[in-house]
Amino acid sequence: MTTHYVDIRLLPDPEFSQSHLMNALYAKLHRALVQLGGGEIGVSFPGYCLQPRALGELMRLHGTEQGLKKLWALDWLRGMRDHMQHSDVLPVPQTSEFRNVWRQQFKTNAERLRRRRMKRKGETAEQAAAAIPDSIERQPDLPFLQVRSSSTGQFFHLFLTLSEPCARAQSGTFNTYGLSPSATIPWF
């Protein structure tokens, strides 16, 4: 259960866009959560907006006081300090709204899916094309971060979605991206 939080606000920068800085900040967070082993720290973006699609300038970390202090002890913000400000570890204010923040994956490339099917099932290009039409592709309309996986080293878009508000907190664990489809974070 998340009882405390830390706000990290990006500062305007003439050389880097807000999204570039947020991607860099999130990459540092991901590496720190991998080092900690994940599970305890959740992340949210209070400026999350679908129109226009954006995450905003504020990243909020959620966890227990001890968990957040353990994260802070890693000095994971090295290199970002000139580009952001952060709060102390603070207790969560009374709120009656909770949400989940998790990754939404999309089938965005029919050609890649066809190649994968051909390799997996030994099908011809024509068979794979018949099984996977172009119409399967979906243009994502969610805010996203561009991140590099610590396990595979590959870059990908991490599309984020929010659950509808709920009145009760749900316990659970967060992954090494600070996301969970089951554990809620207080939304304020």
Predicted pLDDT at 107: 65
- Give CB contacts under 8 A, 24+ apart, made by 158-162: 158/26, 158/103, 159/103, 159/104, 159/105, 159/106, 160/45, 160/48, 160/55, 160/101, 160/102, 160/103, 160/104, 161/101, 161/102, 161/103, 161/104, 162/48, 162/99, 162/100, 162/101
Instruction: DSSP letter for 163, please.
Output: P
Predicted confidence (pLDDT) at residue 32 exceeds the cutoff of 90: yes
30 is catalytic: yes
CATH 3.30.70.2540 region(s) of the chain? 4-104+143-186
Predicted pLDDT at 108: 64
- Note the pLDDT tens digit of each residue in 126-178: 898 888 887 776 667 899 999 887 778 888 889 999 999 998 999 999 999 99
More confident residue, 157 or 26: 26
When pLDDT is averaged across residues 36-49 and rounded to a whole number, the result is 93
Predicted pLDDT at 136: 73
Predicted pLDDT at 99: 96
* Residues in CB range of 60: below 8 A, 6 or more apart: 5, 6, 7, 8, 43, 44, 45, 46, 185
Quick one: 4-104+143-186 is in which CATH superfamily?
Answer: CRISPR-associated endoribonuclease Cas6/Csy4 (3.30.70.2540)
- Note the pLDDT tens digit of each residue in 65-120: 999 999 999 999 999 999 999 999 999 999 879 999 999 877 667 787 888 889 98
- Note the pLDDT tens digit of each residue in 55-66: 999 999 999 999
When pLDDT is averaged across residues 35-44 and rounded to a whole number, the result is 92
When pLDDT is averaged across residues 39-53 and rounded to a whole number, the result is 93
Residue in the block written with tokens 């866009």: 17
The pTM of this model reads 0.83
Q: Which of 30, 62, 86, 157 is catalytic?
A: 30
